[in-house]
């Protein structure tokens, strides 16, 4: 591909043919403001914030969609550009509910930031008198406030890429807005609760259904014993909410901060039930292979993915592992084994999971989960609690997790990255089939590639695997299996692209960071680095897992294990 030479604000730049002005400007370290643009998700040029002057064009052009040309000269900061952007912002503000002080995104809102930078008058244009639509709080995971929406369509593009399509544009012209088909609520729609729309939204039109007040109430209740447990990926992302670089592992500070939220709080490591999931799942897989069970077997640790299957591909439900997710396994373990061991009435134990996604909020409310997790809070919600408590996160000294759920293996650590569940399961399955099998790393299933495939030969058996992240890629795998063009034994699916490190409950970062850094790669790197340092890297060799089976479950897939650690799923067809 030929290169193109141009100048941006008189800075010479050379980029490949087909590059947009916005991409070329980034190479020249020139920032062009955007609202509707989101790298790899949405590029439609509708917000008009990125308008620039370019030679050869009759008027201002949208930098996010306009390609560069040889000899082009671009000016991004002329009076004409600034006036146009300011007017676009003030027009958006006229149709935007300006309740900034009570907004979830206050201080972290792209519209707010740009309005301040361009010295906008929020009342320059008369405010739309129809900004009084009810807030959609029907779902236990996502809240939608139509009056804060700026019609950037980033959420629509995200939902479409997820092969869900729960939201889209309704109406035309001035009355056009984003909503679900037939104006139904999110809970009635095909939404699976993955929360990717939240992290894509530049304003506060979409946010998680918070349970923070309930958690604070439990902490204040002297009759309750409160315990927290944190998902593997949270340690690699929580620091971002406090200004630390993307991919900083803050495990020790995170544990210390949670303990300071209230007296007597214990903090456990969800890596333990990630390992427990692997023990149950790997043995279930081997049993299916040996007895001719339904194949391929799909992982079931992602509730957004499970809901997607129940709604869109109910005929594939028998392929799902019967294992609960690590979150629900921990809830079951705490309300049974932990309570019995410590003489606690399960009704007096308040269990809080800290998770990277919003679908887990829905999962813990499913009736078949028996309310074993009382509250699921996102990484964002935990960060807000820490700030509310006046804790100086950066200056905290590291503290370890509490026993008996502190020690972990590398199997659980890498669950937060796409391919992590597969790799952890392969380690155990390979060791079980061939006791002399020494390979611990399975690099073929690592990385943020949307679909990864590999074939392994272990103890004379061929195991064909696939890993997919993002529900659009999951649909591609399912359609291939149904057509007979894809053949696997074991398939890992994560609803969020890149896995839990890129979950819908992770910190919402400024567009400039999201559009310039590979968040999935940097966050996953922190988990693999931690895994590499672990002295125990197989779930089957964890002393905590040995204790749990020795004292309570007996063996993987035992009758008691099935009562506490396994579940079933049912079809849930939607319009």
Tens-digit pLDDT profile for residues 368-388: 999 999 999 999 999 999 999
Instruction: Tell which of 208, 234, 261 closes a domain.
Output: 208
User: Which residues are CB-contacts of 387 (< 8 A; sequence separation ≥ 6)?
Assistant: none
Distances (CA, A) of 81 to 22, 66, 78, 84, 121: 14, 15, 5, 5, 17
**Residues 166, 192: Cα–Cα separation, whole Å:** 8
**What tokens appear for 11 in the block?**
């800075």
Per-residue exposure over 55-67, b if at least 16 CB sit within 10 Å of its own CB, e if not: eeeeebbbbbebe
DSSP state of 397: P
Question: Is residue 564 assigned to a domain?
Answer: yes
**Residues 534, 525: Cα–Cα separation, whole Å:** 15
Question: Is residue 89 assigned to a domain?
Answer: no
**Residues 415, 469: Cα–Cα separation, whole Å:** 13
**What tokens appear for 120 in the block?**
């906008």
Q: Are residues 152 and 268 in the same domain?
A: no
pLDDT value for 547: 94
Instruction: Tell which of 152, 176, 208 closes a domain.
Output: 208
Mark the ranges of the chain whose per-residue pLDDT is less than 50: none
Secondary structure class of 13 (helix, strand, coil): strand
Give phi and psi for 453, each to the nearest 5.
-130, 145
* C-beta neighbour count of 177 within 10 angstroms: 15
pLDDT value for 408: 65
**Residues 296, 479: Cα–Cα separation, whole Å:** 13
Q: Are residues 129 and 32 in the same domain?
A: no
- Residue owning tokens 């039109």: 205
**Residues 233, 152: Cα–Cα separation, whole Å:** 29
pLDDT tens per residue across span 403-435: 999 876 668 899 999 999 999 998 888 888 777
Question: Is residue 442 assigned to a domain?
Answer: yes
Question: Is residue 121 assigned to a domain?
Answer: yes
Q: Are residues 430 and 574 in the same domain?
A: yes
Q: Which helix (H) or strand (E) holds 226?
A: strand 225-230
Domains identified in the chain, total number = 3
Q: Are residues 320 and 172 in the same domain?
A: no
pLDDT value for 410: 65
Instruction: Tell which of 182, 208, 234 closes a domain.
Output: 208
Q: Are residues 169 and 309 in the same domain?
A: no
- Active-site residues, by number, are 281, 284, 301, 321, 360, 363, 368, 500
pLDDT value for 575: 66
**In 93-176, beta strands by DSSP E:** 142-144, 168-170
Q: Are residues 496 and 535 in the same domain?
A: yes
- Cis peptide bond N-terminal to 279, omega within 30: no
**Residues 288, 301: Cα–Cα separation, whole Å:** 18
Question: Is residue 378 assigned to a domain?
Answer: yes
Question: Is residue 336 assigned to a domain?
Answer: yes
Q: Beta partners for 38?
A: 42
- Residue owning tokens 């509730």: 303
User: Which residues are CB-contacts of 548 (< 8 A; sequence separation ≥ 6)?
Assistant: 272, 276, 333, 337
Question: Is residue 324 assigned to a domain?
Answer: yes
Q: Beta partners for 229?
A: 268, 353
Q: Are residues 314 and 389 in the same domain?
A: yes
**In 356-460, beta strands by DSSP E:** 375-378, 451-458
Cβ 320 vs Cβ 295: under 8 Å: no
Q: Are residues 468 and 391 in the same domain?
A: yes
Question: Is residue 217 assigned to a domain?
Answer: no
Q: Are residues 242 and 314 in the same domain?
A: yes
Range of the structural domain that residue 50 is part of: 3-77
- Residue owning tokens 């008058």: 121
Q: Are residues 185 and 229 in the same domain?
A: no
Q: Are residues 202 and 282 in the same domain?
A: no
User: Which residues are CB-contacts of 521 (< 8 A; sequence separation ≥ 6)?
Assistant: 447, 448, 498
CATH code, 171: 3.30.70.20
Q: Are residues 65 and 126 in the same domain?
A: no
**Residues present in the chain in total:** 575
**Residues 85, 83: Cα–Cα separation, whole Å:** 5
């Amino acid at each position: 591909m030929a290169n193109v030479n141009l100048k941006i604000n008189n800075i010479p730049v050379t980029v490949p043919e087909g590059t947009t002005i916005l991409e070329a400007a980034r190479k020249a370290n020139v920032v062009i403001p955007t609202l509707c643009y989101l790298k790899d998700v949405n590029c439609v040029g509708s917000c008009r914030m990125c308008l620039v002057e370019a030679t050869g064009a009759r008027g201002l052009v949208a930098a996010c969609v306009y390609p560069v040309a040889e000899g082009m000269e671009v000016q991004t900061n002329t009076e004409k550009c600034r006036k146009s952007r300011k007017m676009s912002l003030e027009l958006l503000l006229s149709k935007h509910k300006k309740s900034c002080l009570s907004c979830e995104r206050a201080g972290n809102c792209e519209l707010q930031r740009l309005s301040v930078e361009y010295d906008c008058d929020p009342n320059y244009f008369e405010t739309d008198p129809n900004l009084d639509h009810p807030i959609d709080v029907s779902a236990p995971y996502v809240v939608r406030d139509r009056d804060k929406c700026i019609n950037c369509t980033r959420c629509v593009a995200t939902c479409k890429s997820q092969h869900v399509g729960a939201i889209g544009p309704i109406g035309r012209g001035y009355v056009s807005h984003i909503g679900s088909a037939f104006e139904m609520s999110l809970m009635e729609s095909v939404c699976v609760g993955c929360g990717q729309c939240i992290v894509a939204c530049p304003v506060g039109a979409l946010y998680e259904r918070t349970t923070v007040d309930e958690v604070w109430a439990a902490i204040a209740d002297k009759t309750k014993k409160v315990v927290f447990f944190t998902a593997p990926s949270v340690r690699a992302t929580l620091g971002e909410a406090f200004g630390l670089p993307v991919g900083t592992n803050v495990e020790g500070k995170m544990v210390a901060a949670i303990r300071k939220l209230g007296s007597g709080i214990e903090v456990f490591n969800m890596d333990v039930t990630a390992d427990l999931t692997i023990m149950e799942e790997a043995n279930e897989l081997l049993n299916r292979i040996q007895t001719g069970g339904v194949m391929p077997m799909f992982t079931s640790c992602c509730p957004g993915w499970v809901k997607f299957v129940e709604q869109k591909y109910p005929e594939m439900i028998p392929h799902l592992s019967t294992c609960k997710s690590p979150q629900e396994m921990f809830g079951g373990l705490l309300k049974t084994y932990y309570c019995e061991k410590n003489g606690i009435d399960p009704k007096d134990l308040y269990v809080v999971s800290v998770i990277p996604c919003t679908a887990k909020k829905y999962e813990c409310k499913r009736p078949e989960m028996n309310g074993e997790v009382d509250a699921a809070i996102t990484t964002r919600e935990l960060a807000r609690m820490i700030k509310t408590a006046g804790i100086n996160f950066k200056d905290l000294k590291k503290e370890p997790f509490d026993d008996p759920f502190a020690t972990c293996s590398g199997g659980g650590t890498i669950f937060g990255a796409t391919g992590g569940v597969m790799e952890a399961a392969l380690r155990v399955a390979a060791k079980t089939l061939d006791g002399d099998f020494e390979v611990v790393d399975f690099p073929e299933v690592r990385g943020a590639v949307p679909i990864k495939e590999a074939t392994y030969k272990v103890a004379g058996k061929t195991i064909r695997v696939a890993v997919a992240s993002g529900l659009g890629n999951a649909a591609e795998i399912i359609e291939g299996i149904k057509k007979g063009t894809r053949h696997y034994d074991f398939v890992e699916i994560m609803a969020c692209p890149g896995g839990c490190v890129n979950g819908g409950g992770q910190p919402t970062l400024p567009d400039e960071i999201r559009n310039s850094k590979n968040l999935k790669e940097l966050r996953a790197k922190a988990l693999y680095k931690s895994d590499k340092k672990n002295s125990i890297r197989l779930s089957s060799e964890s002393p905590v897992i040995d204790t749990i089976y020795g004292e309570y479950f007996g063996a993987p897939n035992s009758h008691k294990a099935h009562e506490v650690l396994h579940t079933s799923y049912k079809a849930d067809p939607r319009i």
